[in-house]
Structure 1
Amino acid sequence: MRVSEGSGPAAASAPAAHRSGLPAALTVLTLVSGFVDAVSYLGLGHVFAANMTGNVVIIGFAAAGAPGFSVLGSLTSLGAFLAGAVCAGRLSTAFAGRARRAWVRSVFVTEAVLLAVAAAIAFDRPGGATYALIAVLAWAMGLRNATVRKLAVPDMTTTVLTMTLTGLASESSLAGGTDPRAGRRLVSVAAMLGGAALGALLVLYHGLGWPLLAGALLVTGAAACCRESGAAGDTGAGDHRSA
């Protein structure tokens, strides 16, 4: 497998990424992001657990006196997200020189466990433990985002779509481009939209626990999709520049 310059676990070539099942796994994670933000925004006081740009904007709204937004909730989410990202960096260092599959699966399984913990909290204390739920969910998303950044699969950030939509438009045939990865970009948008819609329906009609449990099961399935069997040292470095 071809590796890129740098150090630490990261993305291989695009064909290798397809063989590993990463695009499919990351599409599932994008769907789950819609679940997570539906739970956090609709059920935990207008806070985002996956989309940190949203939290920064919300803090600005609240600082200006806009009603209905929680500065403490958004700060809790931001802090937990950053802590999760730090843990992801530590984990990638710990797995340096080992098969990438073990690193990726360990992160996905950890996210699944955290979502299951959040689901258990939501089932046990419906309407309570708001900040605990925010922290657990944002921690999981920070862990995942830092890992996906290192994987550097183009147009598969799993939590934000701004640059994906920008590329879809600016590199389209209408703009004189060749529509590179248009299918993947559209699938990412559809996965986020579908996840948000389904997550919202589950939250509105069945509470917070079921979308989180469904998310945990889906992420477990995503871990199983990563079939790559690279040997130790099959690592490179990458930096996910799509956001």
Structure 2
Amino acid sequence: SFRDALACHLYMIFSAQSALESEVKHADKVSSRGRSSKSKNNDTRLEETVSAEAREGCAAAMLVAATTMGQCKSRLWKRAVPDEDIVALPCRVAYQMLENSNGVFARKASSGDAALQMIAATVDSTPCLMNTIIAALVDLLHSCEHMAPLVAELCCLVGEEPNNCLAHELLREIGRMDTQAYSISGNDTNGKASGIKNVAPFISELAAVRPRIVLANISIILPHLDSEPYNLRSSIIHAIGHIIVENVKEEKEKSKSETSLN
């Protein structure tokens, strides 16, 4: 059937993209060995060019697939109930793409914008995958220090009617975060301290672009002001600052409009 054909093609693209992203992730180890001849350098550049084109093509195909599966649920799936394993494929490869989007050039090479759009399209069209997506994003936030602004940007791409469920759930997960394992002695054997340090900036990054969302969920994260990690407390304070600035700005605009009416 056409569903089987779709699944087959998506798994094929997913496998190719996943392999390419894995190669990029380990590129530093390979490049550290060096090249001894000019011909090898030329070969390397050719391989990188081909790899970049392949990554871009796979990313574009996955983005089209994610968007189409969201728009055509009633035609693709029986009773409009999606096959979660298939619908989740664009997100699964998007996580790898975002993991490699460390910096401006890496983000462009990894098609980071397309990755964010894939996840946003899936969030809006397939609410049943929300818990899985939240878990994956929180894991990325813990593991990668560059993820906070990317996830905040993602929260601006999803639908916000009646509310921004993605941002709310992420803030709730951060509110539940266990900070007791944080050690000021520097003995971070299980990586929890560094994970908290990586997660913390997300609060202020989100408040900078969506202060109302953070304000609506401020009670969830305020208890962390009594916690040990400085980065987390600092991020919450910065978030409150963004909220105050936005409120002052709205008050000024409101007073200006009232003055003009009078």
TM-score, scaled to structure 1? 0.26
TM-score, scaled to structure 2? 0.24
Greater per-residue helix proportion? 2
Which protein shows a greater Rg? 2
